[in-house]
Structures are given as structure tokens and as C-alpha cells.
Amino acid sequence: MPDIPVQQVSEVERERAGFRRKESMRSVATSIVSTIIFVALVVAVLKSSPGWPRVKESFFSAEYFALAWPQVVEGLLLNIRVLIVALAGVAVLGTSLALIRITTSAVMFPLRVVARFYTTIMRGIPMIVVLYLIGFGIPGLDLFGRIDKAVLGTVAVVMSYSAYIAEVLRAGFEDVHPSQRASARSLGLTTGQTMRLVIIPQALRKIAPALMNDFIAMQKDVGLISTLGAIDAVRAAQIVVAKTYNFTPYVVASVLFILMSVPFILLNDWYSAKLRKREQTGGMV
Amino acid sequence: MADEKHDRPISAEHAAPVFGEKVLRIDNVVKRFGDNTVLDHISFDVRKHETVALLGASGSGKSTIMKCVNLLERVDDGQIWLGATDITDPRIDQDKVRARIGVVFQQFNLFSHMTVLNNVTLSARKVHKWPRDKAEEKAMGLLRRIGMERKAKEYPDRLSGGQQQRVAICRALMMEPELLLLDEITSALDPLLVGEVLEMVGELKHQGATILMATHEMGFAHDAADRIVLLRRGKVAENGSPEEVMDYPTDPETRRFFAAYNRV
């Protein structure tokens, strides 16, 4: 056949496309059916369990939901304030720890040992223990007078999360290609300029998904400051629970925490997907 | 000149035109990694306006000497002089010395988070404290010369490998370095892109740049270099004109080295 129009589709291609279409229809149908069966099973188990009406009343009561809502929302404002301050604190302490960890100069040796020790210990201790140590230990020293529980809670969150963030940052710094550092140095940039202008901006791009993931974890972990008695969303819920003997307020707090984190989870997914796409297409030499 | 070279050997006096003062003087340099002596009393010079090609098999010490000149690696014994400065003296300001040498590596030269223009102007703005307009004006002039002015606002990942290397050379030239170090700058490129980069190096040579380049491009080294320094097991095996070293080598091992390349 001498004169094939450019766009003409051959029999083979048509047949393949038809087969693929049929395959994908079948897999969509399969997933719809399996979802329906799964949901039906869960509903059936809940409805048929003898205790369900009581569970529903104590955890998902509309009445108590409305009752607890304003107080828990007010508590959440404290969580948000703590989160913002802690974020700044973690950025400063985490970056400092990471920078100390990657220096090679002899002068920094003792600091390097301290940083290493700190990140190792802090990543190992359960966060609740850090909270107790700071929240009850520091006031116990009787050095500073009365300190707000929320402040102590923030300090504990900063101390704990800085250790994780420092390790993520360190990995990011070390992941920047050595030629980049060599190029920066050979342009005459000082060590500090190389770090600030070349290494840190590139590392941040690479580790942004991991950092955002830690931020999302931190959002819910600021709820742990309730254990110190600071009246945050969780504590506010606890107070209502204690009065009403109904657990719905905890659900209220959970819903609020979820709502707070969803935008960041979506943002993180979007950004990770974008990075992945860029890395896959950017393999040009 | 080019057709003559296969007819008869050209004596050293004829082959080497008169170059200026010594820009780089490598004097009895020794570098050891543990028990392994990588550079064993290496000596050679690069004169003003001269292009010297550093050749040698992998592990011959080529890249180590490049790193020593760029102060990325410390020298154990001997001296390296850049003009009147002993750059192996630990008391010197290394950042100042680095700013006097332009360097291009094999790959990942450009900073991926900066546009082409910001890459080229970085050292002028941050090290030499030029105002932005002055730096950009000069950078645009350099980019125009290689036909890349329209890519000034692009990020490096939008350029081909050859374009990236040419921009990297522009960046190295920005502060008019006394010496240009080219460390296997075409080794990571698609063979189709090697030509445009080598062509640019050829132009720089004609404009009088002083170049020390480590390379595997034997044909290019032969045609572009004024002098070939061949390293073997950490020693200078040959140091002479391309004709002497590559066309009419007397040493059997040198002959085998170039013969192996010709077979590829």
C-alpha cells in the first residue's frame, strides 16, 4: 500500500486498543463491586452487633457533638498557636543540628558529638516522656517561677521534632551532588555562601515531601500537650467528656484535627507527584 | 600546518610558539592516599595563552592533579604556583585563589534551582559584589556570544547537556579567570553534543584563554592543544607538542597508549 494517510490506524492497533478498553472496563467494574461488598459487610457487622446502639450513642451522638463543638474549637486555637510557634522553633533548632552534623571542621567536634547524641536519644524517647520531663521536670526545678503549660508543651514538641527534622535535613544536604558544592567553591563562594545559596535550596526541594509529612505528624502531636493540662482541643474534649459521660467530644476533636491536616496532605501529595514527574522526565543529558 | 604534520616531525622549537609568563607552575607535586602514591613528583607549567591537554588512562592521576590545582584536594609535597601565589601554602585565602580560576566539571555544574542568568552572574554578585545590572549586562554579552541569550531565563533542566556545559563555561569565564580548568567536560555528553562544546573551547583558545584541560577526546587534544602532558602511574610520561607526543612518540608505552585509543 503506497499511500497510507499518516493518521490511519492499523488493524493491529485497533485490536489492541479494543482489548485494553475492555480490560480497563472490567477492572473498574471489579473495584466498584468489591467496594460495595466491603461497605455492606462493615455496615452489616455494626448493625447486627448487639452493642451498636450504645456505641453509636456514646461516640457519634449529634446532640453531644453540637454541645462540645464550641469548646473544642476554642481549644483548637491553642493547638494552632502552639503549632505555629513550634514550627518556627523546629526550623531553627532542626537546621542548626543538621548543619552541625555535616560540618567537618575540628573546632566543631564537641558540638558534633552533642548533636549526634541529641538526635539519637530524642528519636528514641517516646514523645509523651519528653512532655512529662519538660512539663513537670522544669517547673520542679523551681528556677523560673511559674511557666505556662502551653509554653512547656511547645518546648517539648520542638525538642522532639527537631531531632527528626535534623536527620531529614542532613540526608537532604548530603544528597546534593558533590559537583554542586565543588562548583560553588570554585566560583569563590565561601562555605557559608555555598550552604545558603546552593546546598540548602536544592536540598529543601528534594526533601520537601518528607518535611511536610513530619509537619502533618506534628499537627496531631501538638494535641499531646493536653497531658500537661494545657486546655487545647483534646483537653477541652476531655473536660466535656468528664461532665457528660459521653465520648462524642473526642470525635469532635478528631474531626477538627483531620480537617486541619487534609489541606496539607493534599498539598504534599500534589507536590510529591510533581517532583516525581519532573525527575522522570528530566533525565536528559 | 595541519597537512604538514603527518609528513615530518616538527621540532620542539617550531611547534611551541612563544607564550607569555607562566600562569600555572606545578613543581614536584606529591599526593598520597594512604600507601598509594597517586602523584609522584609531577612537574609541568601552563603559560599565558597556552592550552595544555592532560591525558592519561583512568587512575593515572589526571583528575587528582586537577583537584589539587582547584584546591579541592590537598597536596602532600611540592608546590603549585598560580602567578606569584603558592596556592599549596596553607596560610593563603583559598576562596580568593578559587575566584582566580575558572572551573568546569564533567557534569552537574549548573545550579538547578537558578536560571541560566543567575548561574552565570552568581560569583560576580555574591563574591565580587557587583551590582546586579552590571553583572547581568556582562553575562548577557557572554551568552550572546554562544547564541544562548534567549535561554537566559530558563532553568538548566530545560537545556541539552551540551548547552548546559557551554553555559557552565560562560559562568567560569564571567570573572575573566587567569586560568580555565576543564575537567573532562565532554565525558558525560551524548556524542552528538560533544562537537558544540569543543568548538566553544576552540574559540576560547583563539581568543587567548589559558586552558588546562583533562580530556579523553584525543582528536580534539591533538588539534586544539599547544602541548600534551601525558600522565602514567602518577608520573609525567610525556610533555611536548601534540606532534611529538601523539604522532611520533618514541616511548613504546606511549605508542601503545595512543594505539589503543585509535582502535576504539
Q: Which residue of B has its CA nearest to A177?
A: B108
Q: What is the pLDDT of residue B26?
A: 95
Domain count, chain B: 1
Q: Which residues contact B215 (CB under 8 A, 6 or more apart)?
A: B53, B54, B55, B182, B184, B185, B186, B221
Least confident piece of the model among A96-100, B13-17, B205-209: B13-17
CA distance A116 to A205: 24
Give residue B6's pLDDT band: very low, low, confident or very high (50, 70, 90): very low
Centroid of chain to Cα A87: 12
CA A253 – CA B24 distance, rounded (Å):
71
In a domain, B12, yes or no: no
- A16 pLDDT above the threshold of 70: yes
Cβ of A285 within 8 Å of Cβ of B161? The answer is yes
> Looking at the DSSP assignment, which residues form a beta bridge with residue B24?
B46, B82
Specify if B3 maps to a domain.
no
Distance separating alpha carbons of residues B52 and B227, to the nearest angstrom? 5
Instruction: Say what the pLDDT of residue A284 is.
Output: 41
Q: What is the pTM of this model?
A: 0.74
Domain-wise residue ranges, chain A? 8-43, 60-280
> What value does the mean pLDDT take over residues A74-89?
94
* CA separation, residue A165 to residues A157, A213, B74 (Å): 12, 10, 34
Find the helix or strand (DSSP H, E) in which A127 lies.
Answer: helix A127-132
Give the separation between CA A220 and CA A254, rounded to whole angstroms.
9
- Comparing CA positions, the residue from B108, B37, B29, B36 lying closest to residue B69 is B29
Question: What is the tens place of the pLDDT at every residue in B24-36?
Answer: 999 999 999 988 9
What's the CATH code of the domain at B93? Answer: 3.40.50.300
What length is written for chain B? 264
Q: How confident is the model at residue A115 (pLDDT cuts 50, 70, 90)?
A: very high
Kindly state whether residue B37 falls inside one of the protein's structural domains. Answer: yes
Tell me, yes or no, whether B186 lies in a domain. yes
Q: Which helix (H) or strand (E) holds A156?
A: helix A149-175
**Contact between B243 and B214 (Cβ < 8 Å):** no
Q: State mean pLDDT over B70-89.
A: 92
Q: Quick one: cell of A48?
A: 447486627
Tell me what the mean pLDDT of segment A18-33 comes to.
94
Tell me, yes or no, whether B49 lies in a domain.
yes
Architecture of domain A60-280: Orthogonal Bundle (1.10)
Q: What is the pLDDT of residue A105?
A: 80
Facing A182 at nearest CB: one of B105, B123, B189:
B105
SS3 B47: strand
Residue A267 per-residue DSSP state: H
A&B contacts, CB < 8 Å: 71
Which set of grid coordinates corresponds to residue A86? 513550634
Task: Say which range, A267-276, B92-101, B102-111, has the weakest mean pLDDT.
Answer: A267-276
**CA dihedral (A48, A49, A54, A57) positive or negative:** negative
Distance of CA B145 to the CA centre of its chain: 20
CB contact under 8 A, B123 and A188: yes
Residue B235 structural domain: 22-262
Distance of alpha carbon B46 from alpha carbon B19, whole angstroms: 9
Of B70, B102, B126, the CB nearest to A193: B126
- Report the alpha-carbon distance of residue A271 to residue A258 in Å, rounded: 20
Q: What is the three-class DSSP state of B30?
A: strand
Q: Quote the pLDDT of residue A2.
A: 55
Scan for cell 562544546, then name that residue.
B197
For B34-129, strand residue ranges (E) read: 36-47, 51-56, 77-82, 85-86, 101-104
Quick: pLDDT tens for B116-171.
999 999 999 999 999 999 999 999 999 998 889 999 999 998 899 999 999 999 99
Contacts B171 to A, Cβ<8 Å: 187
Give yes or no for residue B3 having a pLDDT over 50: no
> CA nearest A281 in B: which residue?
B157
Q: Is B113 on the interface with A (CB under 8 A)?
A: yes
B95 touching chain A per CB within 8 A: yes
Q: Which residues of B touch A182 (CB under 8 A)?
A: 70, 72, 103, 105
Q: Which residues, other chains included, contact A106 with Cβ-Cβ below 8 Å and sequence gap of 6+?
A: none
Q: Looking at residue B15, what is its pLDDT? A: 47
For B181, the grid coordinates are: 580548568
Is the pLDDT at A197 greater than 90, yes or no? yes
Residue B182 lies in a domain: yes
